[in-house]
């Protein structure tokens, strides 16, 4: 058993680390309703303090606070709170509403009965629940000193902070000239071309783009141009850059027709850019015009999530004999009388607590493989843990744990480790579900696959569907495995090819070895390792379908061509391949 998560000696090229995808930033708009009055001669003066704790930590840290509002029991705070959002990490948000006596001396943490403010109420919500909710809005009932008492509500709306530019953003536009000045005598026409430059913070001038020369034309139309937005303006759509229009000369230096400073937003707004000749500023030397302009962009995970894409979880649990007898304390399925979780329970909790809040109904199909269910004679490689094959779902993390515990009592451990039937079942679920739903199949196993060919076939079929597969290789010091075939399925070093020579459409498998040593490994790290690649894989799926985020409908953004977008995703993941988290 690998001694820790991510113990591969040489990281494959297509793994991702924390630098793979920039952390998304979200912004909270906060309001309250029907707050209790704490002041005797006036109304309460509320302020909201926002704290967060990560994973299973008990410590909350300060995120930000709103302004203080005088005499207001139904405030809508003007000051918004920004913070990082990380999909694979459990983030618990706490919103504390206090009545402020001194707005210049407000604590980051609420201290009961402190002179700085009295508690009006507090509410907690998971970031994943907030981001997975309708319109990314949650209304929380405030709690305070007396349980059951009405302290009002706090409503939080979260929105992705609109970034001016992303690394692959490209301005695509068609520019043309109108009534350019003659530079080759009264009878000749200019041979115009454009040079676009920017000035760096150090004051240096950098050439960014140069058009082709259009011969003998005072109303030239240049070929559509494409310029990386970071290179053009460092991602600031309102930052000025310089366009110079020259007349090309074969035998002498080029003549300046005119120049103009503008920004990307001017191009997107299709503004006429009036050229100025610095030697004759009053003279009309022509105009640069634009009739088509947009920014090509690679969509993000939040672009799809905020438009209503639903994530749901399917769980597959290994019931093979190699896990060890159920009454053996060294068994991977051992139910510890002390209440300590075994490796399977740890995995369910770690992944379920992060992923399930994104699922609108919280239902999880819980399947087993490799065991002999009660009433059957032979090993079954895909059976419902609740015994209902037509409706194998449990509700919530606790529902999954309960189904697992009940199944252990009525399932005989057997074998071998055949995964293909389980993956095929998940493929059927994905086909029968809405296109706007994305499945994460988590398979937990303690050993090597015994139906490798069939499993590869099933995974290649999965790569066309809205789904990802995460395989958690469980073990402990008593059950050590190398998981060689699992690393092959991960597909990071080489894409999978099925028995009909069909190549998988995209890499959808993430394998994570989990050595359960009894010390209670941090569930935050396990969830992070298991779910790290899901956002990129989801984007890859919808990009491959050519599905532009609905939020871009009235924006200047357009999606990169499908082939190019997919190449950008693969290239980014290769560049970031420095080992698993």
Per-residue pLDDT reduced to its tens digit, 247-269: 999 888 999 999 999 999 999 99
Residue 177 lies in a domain: yes
Whether residues 154 and 182 fall in one domain: no
Residues 552 and 432 grouped into a single domain? yes
Please check the confidence at residue 387 and state whether its pLDDT lies above 60: yes
DSSP string covering 22-36:
PPEEEEEEEEEESPP
Question: 221: part of which helix (H) or strand (E)?
Answer: none
Q: Report whether 273 contacts 266 (CB < 8 A).
A: yes
Same domain, yes or no: 551 and 445: yes
Helices (H), 192-242: 229-233
Do 198 and 310 have their domain in common?
no
Residues 221 and 356 in one domain: no
Q: Give the three-state DSSP class for 517.
A: coil
- Return the residue matching tokens 């937003």: 265
Directed axis angle between helix 452-462 and helix 420-432, to 10°? 20
Q: Is the pLDDT of residue 57 over 90?
A: no
Q: What is the pLDDT of residues 338-354, one digit of tens each?
A: 988 998 998 999 899 99
CA distances to 12, 237, 469 from 492, in Å? 6, 36, 13
Asked whether 368 and 334 are in contact (CB, 8 A), the reply is no
Q: How far apart are CA 460 and CA 503, in angstroms?
A: 7
- What domain range includes position 289? 170-297
Answer whether residue 9 is part of any domain.
no
What's residue 477's pLDDT? 66
Last-in-domain residue among 105, 139, 160: 160
User: How many domains would you assign to the chain?
Assistant: 3
Residues 174 and 156 in one domain: no
> Do the beta carbons of residue 170 and residue 296 sit within 8 Å?
yes
pLDDT at position 312 is: 94
pLDDT digits (tens, 9 = 90+) for 486-524: 878 886 667 899 999 999 999 999 998 887 664 545 678
Q: Does 458 fall in a domain?
A: yes
Q: What average pLDDT does the segment 277-286 reach? A: 93
Does residue 382 fall inside a structural domain? yes
* Residue 509 shares a structural domain with residue 362: yes
Q: Any idea what the CATH number is for the domain that residue 214 is in?
A: 2.60.40.150
With respect to residue 212, please indicate whether it lies within any of the assigned structural domains: yes
pLDDT tens-place string over residues 74-118: 999 999 999 999 998 899 999 999 998 777 777 666 666 555 458
Give the dihedral of Cα atoms 158, 163, 169, 173; nearest 10 deg.
110
For the CA atoms of 231, 234, 235, 239, the dihedral, rounded to the nearest 10 degrees, stands at: -110
Looking at the structure, tell me whether residues 445 and 512 fall in a common domain.
yes
């Amino acid at each position: 058993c690998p001694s820790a998560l991510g113990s591969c000696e040489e990281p494959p090229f297509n793994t991702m680390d924390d630098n793979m995808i920039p952390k998304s930033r979200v912004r909270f708009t906060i309001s309250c309703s029907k707050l209790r009055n704490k002041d005797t001669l006036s109304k309460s003066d509320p302020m909201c303090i926002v704290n967060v704790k990560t994973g299973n930590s008990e410590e909350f840290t300060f995120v930000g606070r709103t302004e203080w509002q005088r005499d207001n029991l139904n405030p809508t705070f003007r000051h918004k709170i920004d913070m990082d959002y990380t999909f694979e990490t459990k983030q618990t948000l706490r919103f504390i509403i206090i009545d402020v006596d001194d707005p210049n001396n407000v604590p980051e943490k609420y201290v009961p009965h402190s002179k700085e403010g009295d508690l009006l109420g507090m509410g907690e919500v998971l970031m994943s629940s907030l981001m997975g909710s309708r319109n990314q809005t949650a209304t929380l009932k405030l709690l305070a000193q007396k349980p059951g008492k009405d302290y009002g509500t706090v409503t939080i709306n979260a929105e992705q902070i609109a970034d001016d530019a992303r690394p692959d953003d490209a301005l695509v536009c068609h520019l043309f000239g109108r009534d350019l000045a003659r530079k080759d005598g009264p009878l000749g026409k200019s041979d115009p071309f454009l040079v676009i430059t920017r000035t760096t913070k150090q004051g240096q001038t950098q050439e960014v783009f140069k058009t082709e020369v259009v011969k003998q034309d005072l109303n030239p139309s240049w070929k559509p141009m494409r310029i990386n937005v970071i290179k053009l303006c460092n991602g600031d759509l309102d930052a000025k850059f310089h366009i110079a229009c020259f007349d090309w000369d074969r035998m002498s230096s080029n003549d300046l027709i005119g120049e103009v400073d503008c920004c990307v937003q001017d191009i997107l707004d299709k503004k006429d850019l009036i050229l100025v000749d610095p030697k004759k500023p009053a003279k009309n030397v022509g105009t640069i015009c634009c009739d088509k302009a947009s920014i090509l962009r690679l969509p993000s995970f939040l672009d799809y999530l905020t438009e209503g894409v639903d994530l749901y979880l399917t769980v597959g649990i290994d019931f093979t004999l190699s896990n060890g007898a159920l009454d053996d304390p060294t068994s991977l399925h051992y139910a510890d009388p002390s209440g300590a979780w075994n490796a399977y329970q740890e995995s369910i909790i770690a992944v379920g607590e992060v992923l399930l809040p994104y699922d609108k109904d919280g239902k999880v199909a819980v399947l087993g493989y490799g065991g002999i269910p009660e009433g059957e004679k032979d090993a079954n490689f895909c059976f419902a843990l609740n015994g209902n094959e037509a409706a194998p779902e449990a509700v919530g993390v606790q529902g999954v744990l309960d189904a697992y515990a009940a199944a252990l009592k009525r399932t005989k451990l057997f074998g071998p480790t055949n995964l293909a039937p389980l993956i095929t079942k998940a493929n059927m679920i994905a086909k029968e579900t809405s296109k706007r739903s994305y499945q994460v199949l988590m398979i937990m196993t303690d050993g090597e696959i015994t139906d490798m060919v069939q499993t590869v076939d099933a995974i290649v079929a999965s790569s066309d569907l809205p789904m990802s597969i995460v395989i958690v290789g469980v073990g402990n010091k008593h059950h050590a495995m190398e998981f060689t075939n699992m690393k092959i399925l991960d597909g990071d070093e080489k894409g999978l090819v099925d028995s009909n020579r069909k190549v998988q459409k995209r890499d959808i498998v993430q394998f994570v070895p989990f050595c359960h040593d009894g010390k209670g490994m941090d569930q935050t790290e396990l969830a992070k390792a298991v779910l790290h690649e899901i956002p990129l894989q989801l984007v890859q799926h919808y990009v491959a379908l050519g599905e532009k985020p609905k939020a871009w409908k009235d924006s200047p953004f357009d999606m990169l061509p499908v082939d190019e977008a997919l190449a950008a995703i693969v290239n980014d993941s290769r560049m970031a391949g420095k080992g698993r988290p």
